[in-house]
Amino acid sequence: MTRRPRSLALAAALLALAGAASAQTVLKIGYATTKESHYGVGATVFCDEIAKGTANRYTCQHFANSALGGEREMIEAVQLGTQDLVNTSTGPLGNFVPEVKIFDIPFLFRSYDHARHTMDGPIGQNVLKAMQAKGLVGLGWTENGFRHMTNSKHAIVTAGDASGLKMRTMENKVHMAGYKTFGILPTPMPFPELFTALQQGTVDGQENPIPVILSSKFAQVQKYLSLTGHVYSPAVIILSPNVWNKLSDADKKVFTDAAVKAGAAQRKKVNDDEANGIAQLKKDGMQVVEKVDGESFRKAVAPAYAEFAKEFGADKIAAIQAVK
């Protein structure tokens, strides 16, 4: 008689454990760079926050270094529901959400403060909401940073110095249109292929924010860095609608709050890399042009603004430029 209650209690305990285990959902989150990079920092904070906010009912499995494919492939996988989350730059996102492309206009943003206020304000938040109509749930803006040029041929000080260089770009028509005005030969290429292409000389150079140049160790295959700051590159944490639609309202708030905290942490990492990274890249052997003739680049790209105004609306461009 005494054994039966014990066995029942044991069975109940096992069932409770099984229930707890089955209640936990492990989400796959992917990004292009290392776990120690700004993307990894943002993703880690996001995942820690959702685990804490849902009492570990939701946790993450990280796939760094493009383990799930390039950014375009990961965005598509999130849209299809075969991947749960991606922390991605907006470069390839314009292929899915056209409203995002306006942020890729060269020299649209004056500074990090200007860019961040835009993304956190009504303009950025409206674009975030627009993603849902395209089968993507934009949880919150993170950050990639201002993009700078590297190459293996010579230093770039003026726009004319960039002329004739074969530069890898993202699969982004706005970037490519802008870079052509500098005389660059834009060569779209998925990020996972880039290091090898630079190493083999398939392309002369590339352009990315300092955190990416650091984490990808481009100093090993690029001699010259010019701090052109020609494009601000936002980033965003995107969730699959398959996951979002199963969340309670309380859990949805946990996820969106977690994305805001992730964005703050990722921006801080960008700040830190910007502050310390130049010295590190010099130490790694790069020749750095810190004082670029920005006016020559702005002058070169000015004719393209007429086309950008036709595509996006001059009023929308002006509204971003007017953000304080």
Alpha helix stretches (DSSP H) within 24-167: 38-53, 71-80, 112-120, 122-130, 159-162
Closest CA to 142 of 320, 59, 261, 231: 261
pLDDT above 80: residue 75: yes
**The token pair that represents 151 in the structure block:** 């190459």
What confidence score (pLDDT) does residue 304 get? 94
pLDDT > 90 in the chain, percent: 92
Closest CA to 156 of 114, 201, 205: 205
Q: How many CB atoms lie within 10 A of CB 50?
A: 24
> What tens digit of pLDDT does each residue of 224-255 get?
999 999 999 999 999 999 999 999 999 999 99
**What average pLDDT does this structure show over 60-67?**
97
Mean pLDDT of the residues in the chain: 93
pLDDT above 70: residue 2: no
What DSSP designation does 98 have? G
Closest CA to 213 of 187, 195, 232: 195
pLDDT above 50: residue 317: yes
Q: In the chain, what are the domains?
A: 3-321 (3.40.190.170)
List the single range of 16-20, 112-116, 138-142 with lowest mean pLDDT. 16-20
What confidence score (pLDDT) does residue 23 get? 83
**What average pLDDT does this structure show over 93-104?**
96
Read off φ and ψ for residue 59, nearest 5 degrees. Answer: -135, 175
List the single range of 3-7, 50-54, 102-106 with lowest mean pLDDT. 3-7
What DSSP designation does 32 have? S
Q: How many CB atoms lie within 10 A of CB 211?
A: 24
What confidence score (pLDDT) does residue 9 get? 53
What confidence score (pLDDT) does residue 1 get? 43
Q: Are strands 224-239 and 205-209 parallel, antiparallel or unpaired?
A: unpaired
Backbone dihedral region for residue 229 (phi beyond 0: left; psi -120 to 50: alpha; all else: beta): left
Give the pLDDT band (50/70/90) at residue 25: very high
Q: Would the CA dihedral through 228, 191, 205, 297 be positive or negative? A: negative
**What average pLDDT does this structure show over 261-265?**
98
Read off φ and ψ for residue 159, nearest 5 degrees. Answer: -60, -35
List the single range of 9-13, 21-25, 83-87 with lowest mean pLDDT. 9-13
Give the pLDDT band (50/70/90) at residue 18: very low
What confidence score (pLDDT) does residue 171 get? 83
What confidence score (pLDDT) does residue 22 get? 47
- CB 75 within 8 Å of CB 219: no
Locate tokens 């493009």: which residue?
66
Is 59 exposed, middle or buried (CB count within 10 Å of its CB: 0-12, 13-18, 19+)?
middle
> What tens digit of pLDDT does each residue of 105-128 get?
999 999 999 999 999 999 999 999
**The token pair that represents 130 in the structure block:** 């627009």
Q: Would the pTM of this model clear 0.85, i.e. be above it?
A: yes
